[in-house]
Structure 1
Amino acid sequence: MRQHDTLFIGGDWVAPAGTGTIDVVSPHTEEVVGRVPDGTPADMDRAVAAARQAFDQGPWPRMTMAERAAVVGRLAEIYAARQSEMAEIITLEMGSPITFSQMAQAPQPLGMLQYYAELGRTFPVEEERPGTFGPVTVRREPVGVVAAVVPWNVPQFVIMIKLAPALVAGCTIVVKPAPETPLDSYLLAEMVKEAGIPDGVVNIVAAGREAGEHLVSHPGVDKVAFTGSTAAGRRIAAICGEQLKRCTLELGGKSAAIILDDCDLPSAMGFLSIASLMNNGQACVAQTRILASRNRYDEVVDAVATMVRGMPVGDPADPATGIGPLVAKRQQERVQDYIRIGIDEGAKPVVGGLDRPYDRGWYVAPTVFAGATNEMRIAREEIFGPVLAVIPYEDEADAVRIANDNDYGLAGTVWTADTEHGMDIARQVRAGTYGVNLYMIESSSPFGGFKSSGLGRELGPEGLSAYLEYKSIARLG
């Protein structure tokens, strides 16, 4: 069992203020596989104080961006050497299939470190503009102390989408991992220390909701970066609004995959399986609404059903597993409740349903609903599990209308033999990220959503700018 009895604050391993602990339970065996301290508001106070001192008095914000980028580059080298260990830990704590952890859970955070290390070497910190009485210097400066509150589904990805640009920008940060997945953050803390990042620049305190809200509300925090549910995002936005505190919110999704009539279904299904069911369906960008024309509706339902049947359900540590367990019993119950709702609404499960694959572990049967409409709850609400609804459309204009008829706007895809026509469809769907015949999140491009999917953008130069304030300095002559 992986056991830790300290927190990472001020560049050191320190005893927690309280005596509470967090048990990390394997979603596969339902056995305790790890234990860490449960951070308290007092621990958050200490972490913010360390970050505040490191920002106000320490060397990190006063280094050049290129110097900070070099340190982030060292962190990337250390991360690269330990990414296999990182993948194994994430699979252990939250049930992500090991192949997905090796393909995405660990490599994508490494790619973000490498991207921002490179971007920071050349990113313009100052630029000259003409003014009325003389030149104006437009300067970019770090926003300050950042609170990063992250979920359990892709823990390192979501930490790094915040940590890498914040570090290059010159910010200091307090990371609050989710209580379901704290183990990976301890490995990250070891890497941060080895990379020589100054004390207090990175602080990590795993905790629950009370301590998390205390961190978000802390007057010593200048910006909140949050990924999680839309409900929690609204609460954080209200707190930040009251305090006029900057925030970036990446929230829920209910994305649509539009399958056009010219799509080659067998070749598309391999990519769609990743886009729709990655990480056991526990992904905010998952394409869980499959839109098919009435001309090919039955054919698409059969193809999607065959795809899902071909993804073995089982032990997430087994490389043959396509879909593993959900992160917690409450998540298992939530997804099963939605399957019941879909049946009650009149949709038909052609794969899966309410029968559990195993008596032990938080598994649900991957489920494909036919006969679904976009008005059903299974088509409108984020389920966060391996449940897909195949919805018919009349023509392409109707497909775009259905894709846009949702409170969310995070992601989407279109599947077609004509890539240029696919681009035309992509331009009509109100989503922050989109794919034509695939779905990818690119380090170099902004990631975020429209509507209830959040505020602001992460990744790319835009993600770095989110951690910078603009200052204009005018001078005479």
Structure 2
Amino acid sequence: MTAPTIALKHPRRFYIGGEWVEPATQDTIDVLNCATEEVVATVAKAGSEDMRRAVAAARDAFDNGPWPRMTPQERAVVLEKFAERLEALNDTFAAGWSIESGIVYKVAQPRIGQFIGQAFRVYSAMAHSFQFSEPHRSMTGHQGYRVYEPVGVVAVIVPWNGPAALLAYKVAPALLAGCTVVIKPSPEAPTSALLFAELADEIGLPPGVVNVLTADRDVSEELVTNPAVDKITFTGSTAAGRRIASLAGDRIARITLELGGKSPALVLDDYDVEAAARTLGGSYFGYMTGQVCHSLTRIIVPRAKHDRMVEALSAIAQQIVLGDPFDPATTSGPLANGRQRDHVERMVAQGVAEGAKLATRGRRPPHINRGFFFEPTVFGNVDNAMTIAQQEIFGPVLSVIPADDEAAAIRMANDTPFGLNATVFTDDHDRAMRVARQLRTGTVGHNGPRTDFGIGFGGFKQSGIGREGGTEGLLAFLESKTIVMDAPFGG
């Protein structure tokens, strides 16, 4: 299968106030196929005037439009329409994900519909299960209520590694809550957001409820600092999240930050090393080339089993077939862009310089002369204090770290500024729960990566603030208000 073209109806326009509008400047952004480095689309690049116009449209729609004043059940009907249209365009969104981010198409194609359609269906159903108004007896015996109201205008900033799914889990709860949104995708991967704008236009949302424009990072900062924006929801690097938090803090804007990770997999002494390696190596190298924030990149094993784990992971890495994401024979694609590949190269060189053992590969594949490819890489004898064990690489690099006992493994797992994800490999369920409760991470899986947006996803420490998915993902777009009536409780 050859890579399809990215067909956008309005690539040189922005969706603002319910219309496809001309940009204020002639600036554009070239979208590359990361496997070939060829330009596959050219989209408009927003300037300051465009961003102000989008925020003003969202502000007017929230302050004066019908959307926030509809019932949650009425808004849920629209979410169901989104789900149907998103699922119908499953293959289109999957192809864009492969072209822009490098995920193998045969992996993307069955996953994307589950992510984006399911998000809108879950929150549509929540319109009937979540209590947007709850009666309470006040401390003085009066009739009280806790009501939930939309937070307001939301800036939705989406990264390049999983744009459609991450957009869905931000926009669906925001819309159910009654918010209006300004969606700003990554300049490397803007097509999912523009396709979503096309659906919003087809469905016929009230003007200004959904606004989409493509911009670079300088104009994105203007979105964060605009006083008409009530909340920012961002997924991306911890460095960028730190900057957003500081800017938002200046005016006490609400934020949800889903940031980086350096997630540990603890293989305990009762678990089969080769089985753990198959689970870790197969899912890691073959999913998104390691370009996933919750990837289990630090593999902590009993010292006596260290060499076996390195050998098993190296064997898996050697079997990976790098190539065109649309080729059925390919098991791992390229990195999303040249900047990311350069970062991975620097981190691998740093690992070697600090004394880690490069067990396999660790370079650009010599047989591929175009595209942003990097070989699956395994390091052994990694000290937990090394750069490759402490900093996010966001590429196909695994580090095996020996531990003297379970207590040491837990200490090393927690000895990081991040706290997004973890996994405990053991045949003892009680032991798995006991260890899981000691790990300072937002998610802990048992015997494999088991993140769940249906329950909630987010991180401890520098891995973020807040949660996405589940009930907490809806609460992130609501303000809680207490109302106490001049009447006795129940009267």
Question: TM-score with structure 2 length normalisation?
Answer: 0.94
State which of 187, 192, 198 in structure 1 corresponds to 2:200: 192
State which of 307, 322, 336 in structure 1 corresponds to 2:316: 307
Q: Look up the match of 1:147.
A: 155
Q: Look up the match of 1:173.
A: 181
Structure 2 counterpart of 1:469, one-letter code: E
Q: Deviations over 1:75-123 (max 9, x none)?
A: 1011111111110111112211112322434431222111111112221
Q: Look up the match of 1:128.
A: 135
Q: Look up the match of 1:80.
A: 87
Q: Deviations over 1:140-162 (max 9, x none)?
A: 00000000111101111221121
Question: Matched residue of 2:192: which SS?
Answer: helix
Structure 1 counterpart of 2:328, one-letter code: P
Distance (Å, rounded) in 2 between the aligned partners of 1:435 and 1:312:
28
Distance (Å, rounded) in 2 between the aligned partners of 1:25 and 1:325:
12
Conservation of the 8 A alpha-carbon contact between 1:410 and 1:433: yes
Q: Look up the match of 1:385.
A: 395
Distance (Å, rounded) in 2 between the aligned partners of 1:434 and 1:373:
22
Conservation of the 8 A alpha-carbon contact between 2:157 and 2:233: yes
Q: Look up the match of 1:417.
A: 427
Question: Matched residue of 1:281: which SS?
Answer: coil
Distance (Å, rounded) in 2 between the aligned partners of 1:260 and 1:30:
43
1:463 deviates by 0.6
Q: Look up the match of 1:360.
A: 370
Structure 1 counterpart of 2:340, one-letter code: Q
1:266 deviates by 4.0
**Residues 269-284 of structure 1: pairs in structure 2 closer than 5 A:** 269-273=277-281, 275-277=283-285, 278-284=287-293
Distance (Å, rounded) in 2 between the aligned partners of 1:11 and 1:66:
22
| Change in 2 beyond 3 A, CA 1:447/1:274 | farther
Structure 2 counterpart of 1:386, one-letter code: P
Q: Look up the match of 1:215.
A: 223
Query: How large is the RMSD of aligned CA atoms in angstroms?
Result: 1.4
State which of 108, 128, 139 in structure 2 corresponds to 1:101: 108
Q: Look up the match of 1:49.
A: 56
1:19 deviates by 0.6
Distance (Å, rounded) in 2 between the aligned partners of 1:271 and 1:202:
40
Distance (Å, rounded) in 2 between the aligned partners of 1:219 and 1:6:
25
Q: Look up the match of 1:401.
A: 411
Question: Matched residue of 2:437: which SS?
Answer: helix
Conservation of the 8 A alpha-carbon contact between 1:100 and 1:279: no
Distance (Å, rounded) in 2 between the aligned partners of 1:160 and 1:382:
25
Structure 1 counterpart of 2:244, one-letter code: I
Conservation of the 8 A alpha-carbon contact between 1:83 and 1:107: no
Distance (Å, rounded) in 2 between the aligned partners of 1:75 and 1:355:
41
1:264 deviates by 2.8
Distance (Å, rounded) in 1 between the aligned partners of 2:451 and 2:305:
29
Which range is displaced more, 399-408 or 84-93? 84-93
Question: Matched residue of 2:61: which SS?
Answer: helix
Distance (Å, rounded) in 2 between the aligned partners of 1:274 and 1:443:
22
Structure 2 counterpart of 1:272, one-letter code: L
Q: Look up the match of 1:371.
A: 381
1:26 deviates by 1.2
Q: Look up the match of 1:26.
A: 33
Distance (Å, rounded) in 2 between the aligned partners of 1:328 and 1:416:
37
Structure 2 counterpart of 1:258, one-letter code: L
1:72 deviates by 0.3
Conservation of the 8 A alpha-carbon contact between 2:296 and 2:449: no
Question: Matched residue of 2:399: which SS?
Answer: strand
Q: Deviations over 1:330-353 (max 9, x none)?
A: 111110111111111111221112
1:271 deviates by 3.0
Which range is displaced more, 51-60 or 272-281? 272-281
Structure 2 counterpart of 1:296, one-letter code: K
Q: Look up the match of 2:299.
A: 290
Unaligned runs of 5+ in 2: none
Structure 1 counterpart of 2:270, one-letter code: D
Conservation of the 8 A alpha-carbon contact between 1:275 and 1:286: no
Q: Look up the match of 1:117.
A: 124
Question: TM-score with structure 1 length normalisation?
Answer: 0.97
1:294 deviates by 1.0
Conservation of the 8 A alpha-carbon contact between 2:90 and 2:112: no
